[in-house]
Structures are given as structure tokens and as C-alpha cells.
Chains A and B, each alone.
Chain A
Amino acid sequence: MREDGRHFLQGPRLDAFSKVTGRERYAADEYPGEFLWAGAKRAFVPHARLLAVHTDRAAAHPGVVRVLTSLDIAGSNRLGIVRNHQPVLVDETIRHAGDAVALVVAESRETLREALELVTFDHEPLPGVFDPEQALKEGVPRIHGDNEEGNLMRAVRVRRGDPDGAFRGCDVVVEGVFETPRQEHACLETEAGWARVDEAGVLVVVASTQTPYRDRKEIAAALGLDVNRVRVIAPYLGGAFGGKDGITVQCLVGLAALSAGGVSVKMWWDRRESFLASMKRLPARMHYRLGAKKDGTFEALSCRLYYDAGPYAGLAGEIMAMGVEHAGSAYRIPNVNIEGYCVYTNNALGGPFRGFGVPQSTAGMEQVVDMAAEKLGMDPLELRRVNALGTGDRNCVGVELKYSTGFSECVDRLADHPLWKEREAWKASAPPWKKRGCGVGCMAHAIGYPALIPDEANARVELTESGTIRVYSGVSDMGQGNAGTYLRIAGEILNQDPATMEVIQPDTDHGLPSGTSSASRTTYTFGNAVIRAARSLKEVILRSGARCLEVEDIDSLELVPGAVRIKGSGRKAALRDVAALIDAVDRSCKGYFRTPYDESTLGIMYLGAHVLFSFGAHLARIEVDTLTGRIDVVDYVAVTDAGRVLNRAQYDQQVQGSIAQGIGYALMEDYVMKDGRHETGDLATYIIPTSLDVPDMVSIAVETDETTGPFGMKGIGEVVISGCVPAIANAFHDACGVRITRVPLTPERVLSALAGQGGKE
């Protein structure tokens, strides 16, 4: 038990046992009775006009139930969140290799595979657009003919102060062009789900999704159904990381179910289809220029950020906007000119991925900060401390920080760490053929949605007839463990052991709309709603307990595990008996929360800005092998301000998982496309780190007390990943004296950078 008496918040994650024993069932694990298989015919051409789809041979194949094309779709056949222009099944134009042109429903997976081979289509190839900066030039083919700005999907510009004048007054100006790769989520559970039309005529879709409530609307619109005739259920996910923030199988499997006469239809992408058809982290090219005074004070920042969206809008424009908002990392910079461009190409779909646009711009910013430190002759952490955002400061887009801001303390704690303080001795003792370096990377990450999008949650906590507590989750658990955290939060308020409680995963029929499992909001926003619901329920329980125990004053009562008790006495009433005295409707309490926002930020940028941030400061110690070019990350320290720690184990899991994914991003992950073809289409060619590639990690929590957060916490799911690329890239420069501006830092790039120095290697 902690000093403050919070004991139900701590302990191992509640889903650990069911996960490691395989008892937990993901959508992919469900085989719903007698069911059919659905599969998509993929285009495998990046850009073409679709002339005809030939389905006869497939339809005649024994065991094939239906072959569907765009002509079978009664609705808009368009998906989208901001712009609805992605076809469920292509009707006119193929815009990337993973586009689906037909859907086959068959009795077995083998038959499905055979039938998909029998579907053919005629197409007229169109010239492809593959480089985002080229895509903006005159005369380049347009991917969306109706888009007035050519291939520019969205531009976001933020200008503050007088950047041009400020640059002229700077003592030091540094600049660079940085590139980050396309990154694949590579979830354990590939995209999966099943659907059927139930007895009441409702289309029920069970899918591996982060966004059941948004999916419901998209499915209804695309397939031409009343939204009330669509129900979406989101079981535990086997990983998502943003890759299931939106529609994957939902509309395809829903379309198949609509023509399956009440029979269930299952769809499960294999790894190759997942790689081909799923979203990726947007690759970015970033032109950065930073100006400082002699004492290190940042005066001016100018940057142009190009994000490759792929062929459809999805959330790509919003991802780029987050990159713009965080382009100045966690520093005070009074004069800025930040331009972000999100560009259509015929490459893979771009979409959300842990960090949502921030890892890209942070990689650029934190490297120019190091370049400035070198030119100023300053210690890189000292330069960051000098410019660190604190409460009351304005961030790069001009938002005043009114909430918890523990960034300076993160920097101070890192500067104090032995792995930082003793770095010179460690570097000097490098073995033969090795060079050692230490690098830092800092970051901020916004919590919740930008101002224009209400970031709301509605929780429901119930005392069941049998006297147990049930929490209706409105936000998918994609593996981060938020469902268990909701139980712990409710258990804490109601003084009930979470192990005796039950959580119901999101279901648009039972739960209440609560937004998406994303934006570092799952525990912050929904947890706050759970607290409110649980407090209401507590009062209901105590009032009924008073009747049960025949006392007047509910203040004389307390909740204990399984019962209501008279304080200071042994007399208690079991919760089952307490529940019997409450009307069924009153046993269920709701709680609502909306994340803080500031309307005055709406004028700053597209969708407005955020007001609440987590922060961090990282150290990477690396060893570079000068014979092979291989980089080993030897030690890693992540100091994080994500408010108070609710559950130390789960907090550290988020930190460690982010670092592992960040190391992959920095050193090896690169989803290569060539002329719209997927060159790394499986896990044999797309390389992600193994446990041996990830070092022991030190996670230090700077526990600011975020007064708006549940028990003082802020989001921890995303902030950490943004530090890895700059920390490792800066460490490489520290080790070798040369900067590689393009990640991942593959052995090949390292050797050629070392050779470029004129060294023997």
C-alpha cells in the first residue's frame, strides 16, 4: 500500500494471466459457429483506371458463395474521417497496390484463395506519383482529380513573431534536412474480424479496432445502412499501435455479411495482406533551421515538413498537423515559421502510429538542437535546460502552458544520471574497432484531441444483481492494459478488489460513446469518467447500505471489499443484499469527462492546438562497429513526466515498448517502396528488433501532479517513442563526428558515412 492509501491501483496487470496462457480471445481467434470466409482481391498496381472486373469464373468455382464488386454496394462506397474518398471496393481508380477491387465469400479458406486467383480485372495504368516533394510540382499527375490543390492534401502554417528579423539577429544559425522512414506497426494480431446480420436485421461487426464508435458511422455511410442498424464490438486487440485506428476489415466483412443471409463471415488478413493493405507511419522529409543567441537562447525556428500521406486522407492531415504543433519540441522559441505539407502519393496508406506525427518532427528538431549545441560549444543538455518550457511559457505555436509542465525536471534528472555524468570515461574505454557515443533527445506530446474535436468520455459503472462491480469500457484495449486500469480506478474509488470485478469491452450496444483508443487519452480521459461514475455509484451503494443497515447517516458508512460497513463497528451488509434494494436502472451510474481545451487556440492552426502535454528527456549510449557499421544501443535512459504513476508496471511497459519500437525506427525499420511496389512485404524483409536488439532500459518517472488527471496522471502511451531517433542519431554523431540525416541508421549508411569522412574504414 502506498502512503496515500492507494492500494488497488498497484499490482500486476489484470489481463497478464489470460494473455500469457492464451485464454484471451482476440477478434482473430473467433470462429463463430458455421461461418464463411471473405477475402479481398488486391490491385497490386499503384495507379490505374479500373475498366472492368471479371467475376464469373470465381463465382462458378465450387464452394464460392458470392463475388462482390463496387456495384454491390448500396451506400457511398467511400471511407474517410475528414474527407470521404477511399473506396471500400474500387469503382473508378486504383490509387495504391493494396486497394481492393473485389470481395469473395467462400466456404473455406482454401476455396477463397483459389477463387481470388480466378477474379481478374482490366485496367489502364496511370503514371504514378511516389515522391511527396515531386508530387507538388506543376504537371505531375493528380491522384485526386477533384482536389483543388493538386496533390497537396493539406498545408498547415504557423507563424509567430518575426522569424526573418530574428534569424538576422542570431549569433548562431544551424540547418539541416532530415528524413524518417515509413514504419509498419507489425502487430501480433493482423487485421481481423467477423460479421453477421442478426435476427433483428442489425449488422453486427466484431473487429480488431481502436475505434468502434467511429467505425459504426463509417460502415453505415459506406454500406448505405442506418447507423442504428450497425453494431460494432471491439474485443481485446492483439496490438494496434494506431494501425487499427480506423477501418481495416470492418466494411469488407460487413459487406460480405449483408449478402450471406444471416450466416457469419470472417475475414483475417495474413501478414502479407496486412503489410500490403494496412496503414503505415508517414515518411517525412524535414527542412530545419534554428537560430540562437550566444548564451544559447533560442530565437528563431523555421521549418518545412513534408509528410507522405499515401493515396487517401484518412487521418494523415491531422498527423502532419501534430507534427507542426510539436515542431519545436519542448522549448521556448519566440519567432517561428513552421510549414507542414501533407501530400498524396501512390505509396502505401499513411495513418496513425504511436506518436501521431510527432516522432518525425521531433527527430528533426532535436538533431538541429544538437547541431546548435556543438556550434555554441555548449553541453547539449545544458542548452536544452536553458530553453526548456516551464509553466506559463508559450510553446512553439504560441500556446501558454497552464497545466503540469515537468520538462525542466526531466532534463535535470537526466543530467544527474550516472550514465550521463560518467559518459566520457565510458566512451574513452571503447574496445578495438568500436566507437562509443552518447546522445540525448527530448520531447513533448499532447494529450487528447485538438481543441476543435471534443475529447469526451462516458463511463458506466454498475453494481450487478449479484453484488459485484462491472465497468463498461468505451475505449478499446489494444494491449496497453487500459481495461484493467479502469477496473483498478473503479476499485480504488469503491474500495473493491479489481480481481473480483468485471470489465465489458466496447460494444456500441452497451457502452457509451467515448472516442478512440488513441491520442494518449485512454486512461486520462476515460479514467476521469470512470472516477465520476464510480463516485456516483458509491453514493448509491452507501444510501442503499444505510437502508440495509438501518442507519440514518451515510457518513457513518464505508465501503469495504464485498460489503458496506458501519465505521468502527463490525456490522456490515453484503453488496449482494445492498444491490437487491436498488432499482436495476439505479445500479448503473454514468460519468462524463471532457479533456481541457482552449477555444482561443482555434485561430492558431488547423483544428486548434492542445493545452496538456507529457514530456521527456532521453539518453542513448551506443557503440558503433567501424568494421560492419552496426550500431548497438548499449544503455537507454528515459526520464518522463507523464504525471503521477498509477501503476508502475504498466507505466514502465509503455516506456519499454516505446523504446523498443523507437530503436527499431532508428536502426532498422524501413518499409521500402519502389514505384508503388512493396519491397519489404513480409517479416523476413521488414526488420523489427528482437529482444537481443533492445538493451536494459532505465525508466525514471518525474511525477508531476496533473490536477486534471485521474489520480494526477497524464498519458504515457506515445510520448516516449519520439525520443529514440534523435537520441540515437545524436549519439552516432557524438561517436563518429559525422551526422547521418536519414534514419534508419543501417550498417550500410553508417559505413558509407564513415568512409565519407576519409577514414580507413
Chain B
Amino acid sequence: MADVHVPSSLDEVFRLLSDEPSATLFAGGTDVMVRSSPDMRERGPFLCLERVEELRGIHGSATEVRIGAATTLSEVIASPVIADLFPLLREALRHVGAPAVRNMGTLGGNICTASPAGDSLPPLYILGAEVELRSLKGRRRMPIDAFITGPGRTQLEEGEVLCAVVIGKEQGFNFHHFEKVGQRKAMAISVASLAFGAETRRDGTIVKARCAFGSVAPTVFTSRLLNDTFAGNTLNTAVLDRAVAIIREGVSPISDIRASMEYRRQVAGNLVMRLEGAGKDR
């Protein structure tokens, strides 16, 4: 069997990492375990992050909320702070896998897997989340959209650990929407997903909006042009038709066993149609 290390502090993590730079970081294992099967030895040794106290929990400052990377998805969902400030993130995480997966899987793990279908990613893009990376060399922060560079690819360097996700408290959204299309209602890998956050007036006019799509491009698809299309308008048919055109033009999906490129492109556009008439009286 492969070596499995279960450090309890970040210092220990860094020490182990400098001894074994090729170790696989493991935080919940809901992706790593599946990928490594059947032969775990080829991917070992494993360095488990779940018991590192500095990586756990949700803590707020005056302006930011810091979510430890090894916080489980269930813990994020259950957090009153998250429910209050970032309901969009909570809603998206509720669509990950099933309870057993959410109890083991972690937010940091979902980010570092960097799957085009990662369900936490579209809301984190919309919320302007930043990731905090640490190594023996020090600490750095970068926006999540800079951190993820492609399918399964991130800016994480050797010896470096994603320690936390930091989200600004002031988002200004009073309307949010999340929809995931999978092949079934749970235990599904996203075929396409939409996260949408907006600040609206009572009459439904959008002050500002942000849109992010999962599973329709190598990384989360966002578009300033798309966001700007909504500003100053209500979610009416004409605006949504323009949005659909921008989306279908902008996404670059693939075909795989779950869905074809054509379907993903079609549905990515369709998903915003669900917003028609929404955002009023809020």
C-alpha cells in the first residue's frame, strides 16, 4: 500500500512536502480516490489535509470571510454566515454529489481538482473569491479565475498548499440563481451549470449582474459583454435573447459520453431563459 500521512499542523505539512515533493495532496478524497482506483500505489504517497486545524472552519473579519480549504462542503452549506452572505455558493454546493460526498469533499479540493464541471467554481467566480496559497517561501493571494488555468490545471506550485478561500462580504447582490444540469438529480457530474448574481431595483431593473457557467468550456465561462448586457435592463425577452446569443457564441464545450458539444451550447443559452421576469420586488 501507499504511504499515507495525516499531519495535524501546516508546519508538519510543509515539512512532509519538502521530504516528498511528489506527494498527492488529499482533502476528502472524493476525487483522488476515484482517480487512483484500482491501484493507489501509483499515486502515493498521500498527504491528508483534513486534520490540519489551520485549514478548517469559516471565519469572518470586518470585510471578508475566510473559508479553510479543508472545510467540508457540508460544513459550508450548514454555516449561517454562508447562508446569510453567499446564498449562491450554498445553493451550488447543495448540488454536489450526494450527502456522503459532501460530508467528505472539501471546498479546497473542489477548487484544486479544477474540473470544468466543479460545482463550487461558478459561484466563486461570481463572488470574486480569492485563494490563499502558502508554502515555506511564504504566502500569496490570487483571484480564483487566475488560479485555475485549465482543466485540472492550477497555479499551485511544488511545495505549495491552498489554505483558504477568501470572499469579500460586500457583494451587493440581492438576487441569485443557480441551476445545474446533470444526467440525474443527485450523484451527477454537471453537463452545464449557470450561476447568476445580480443587484436589482424593485422594478426588476438590473444595476449590475454577473454570470458564470460550468462545464461548457475548459474553465468557468464568464463574459464581461454578457454581464454588461444585463445592466440597466430588466430580465425581459429581448435582453435574454441577446444574452443567449452571447453565451452560445462564447462557450467552447466538448462532446463526451455525458453530452454533446451541441447540447451543452444549446442548454447553456437556454439556462438564462429561466430568469425571464425574475428579480422584481426584491
Interface residues of A (CB under 8 A from B): 110, 113, 270, 272, 432-433, 627-630, 668, 672, 679-680, 684-685, 687, 689-693, 746-748, 751, 761
Contacts and interface: CB of A to CB of B under 8 A. Distances in A.
Contact of A685 (B39, B186, B257, B271): B257
A433 B186 contact: no
Mostly, the B contact residues are loop
B15 to A, nearest CB: 30
Contact of B98 (A113, A272, A689, A690): A690
B180 to A, nearest CB: 10
Nearest to B34: A684
Given A627-B274, A628-B267, A628-B271, A748 B185 contact: no
A761 B41 CA distance: 49
26 contacts: A110-B41, A113-B39, A272-B38, A432-B276, A627-B270, A627-B271, A627-B273, A627-B274, A628-B181, A628-B267, A629-B263, A630-B181, A668-B183, A672-B257, A680-B257, A684-B34, A687-B188, A690-B184, A690-B185, A692-B184, A692-B186, A693-B186, A746-B183, A747-B191, A748-B260, A751-B267
Contacts of B191: 747
A68 B98 CA distance: 43
A761 B271 CA distance: 11
Contacts of A685: 257-258
Interface string B208-228: 000000000000000000000
Contacts of B77: none
Contacts of B270: 627-628, 761
Interface in B226-282: 257-260, 263, 266-267, 270-271, 273-274, 276
A627 B267 contact: yes
B273 A687 contact: no
Interface of B: 34, 38-39, 41, 98, 181, 183-189, 191, 257-260, 263, 266-267, 270-271, 273-274, 276
B260 A113 contact: no
Contacts of A746: 183
A433 B273 CA distance: 9
A110 B1 CA distance: 9
A690 B187 CA distance: 8
A722 B98 CA distance: 29
Given A687-B184, A692-B184, 15 more contacts: A270-B38, A433-B273, A629-B267, A668-B183, A679-B257, A684-B34, A685-B257, A685-B258, A689-B184, A693-B185, A747-B181, A747-B183, A747-B191, A747-B263, A751-B263
B38 A751 contact: no
Nearest to B180: A628
B185 A692 contact: yes
Contact of A668 (B184, B271, B276): B184
B115 to A, nearest CB: 12
A685 B267 CA distance: 20
A432 to B, nearest CB: 8
Contacts of A272: 38
Instruction: Identify the interface centre among B184, B258, B276: most chain A CB within 10 Å of its CB.
Output: B184
Contacts of A747: 181, 183, 191, 259, 263, 267
A691 B185 CA distance: 9
Contacts of A630: 181
Contact of B186 (A113, A690, A748): A690
Contacts of B266: 751
Contacts of B41: 110
Nearest to A679: B257
Contacts of B263: 629, 747-748, 751
A630 B274 CA distance: 14
Nearest to A270: B38
B29 to A, nearest CB: 15
Contacts of B39: 113
A748 B259 contact: yes
In the complex, the 10 A-B pairs of residues with the closest C-beta atoms, listed nearest first: A692-B185, A627-B270, A748-B263, A690-B186, A687-B183, A692-B186, A628-B181, A685-B257, A693-B184, A693-B185
A110 B34 CA distance: 18
Nearest to B273: A627
Instruction: Identify the interface centre among B183, B189, B263, B267: most chain A CB within 10 Å of its CB.
Output: B183
A680 B183 CA distance: 13
A751 B263 CA distance: 8
Contacts of B189: 684
Contacts of B98: 690
Instruction: Identify the interface centre among B186, B188, B263, B274: most chain A CB within 10 Å of its CB.
Output: B263
A751 B192 CA distance: 14
B254 to A, nearest CB: 14
A433 B275 CA distance: 11
Contacts of B186: 690-693
Instruction: Identify the interface centre among B98, B258, B271: most chain A CB within 10 Å of its CB.
Output: B258
A550 B149 CA distance: 92
Contacts of A628: 181, 267, 270-271
Contacts of A692: 184-186
Nearest to A271: B37
Contacts of B259: 747-748
A620 B185 CA distance: 18
Contacts of B274: 433, 627
A628 B269 CA distance: 10
Nearest to A632: B185
Instruction: Identify the interface centre among B188, B191, B260, B270: most chain A CB within 10 Å of its CB.
Output: B270
A32 to B, nearest CB: 22
A761 B257 CA distance: 23
Contacts of A761: 270
Contacts of A629: 263, 267
Contacts of A627: 267, 270-271, 273-274
A438 B153 CA distance: 47
B266 to A, nearest CB: 6
Contacts of B257: 672, 679-680, 685
Contacts of A433: 273-274
Contacts of B183: 668, 687, 746-747
A692 B183 CA distance: 12
A420 B104 CA distance: 43
A384 to B, nearest CB: 31
Given A627-B271, A748-B260, A113 B185 contact: no
Instruction: Identify the interface centre among B41, B188, B260, B271: most chain A CB within 10 Å of its CB.
Output: B188
Contacts of A751: 263, 266-267
A684 B37 CA distance: 13
Nearest to B191: A747
A746 B181 CA distance: 12
A294 to B, nearest CB: 43
Nearest to B260: A748
A685 B182 CA distance: 12
Nearest to A686: B257
A113 B184 contact: no
Contacts of A680: 257
A685 B274 CA distance: 28
Nearest to B264: A748
A433 B266 CA distance: 15
A404 B148 CA distance: 66
A751 B186 CA distance: 21
A685 B189 CA distance: 9
A536 B183 CA distance: 55
B1 to A, nearest CB: 8
A690 B183 CA distance: 11
B255 to A, nearest CB: 10
Nearest to A746: B183
A145 B161 CA distance: 61
Contacts of B258: 685
A408 B7 CA distance: 69
Nearest to A690: B186
Nearest to A628: B181
B268 to A, nearest CB: 10
A356 to B, nearest CB: 26
A111 to B, nearest CB: 12
Instruction: Identify the interface centre among A668, A693, A748, A761: most chain B CB within 10 Å of its CB.
Output: A748
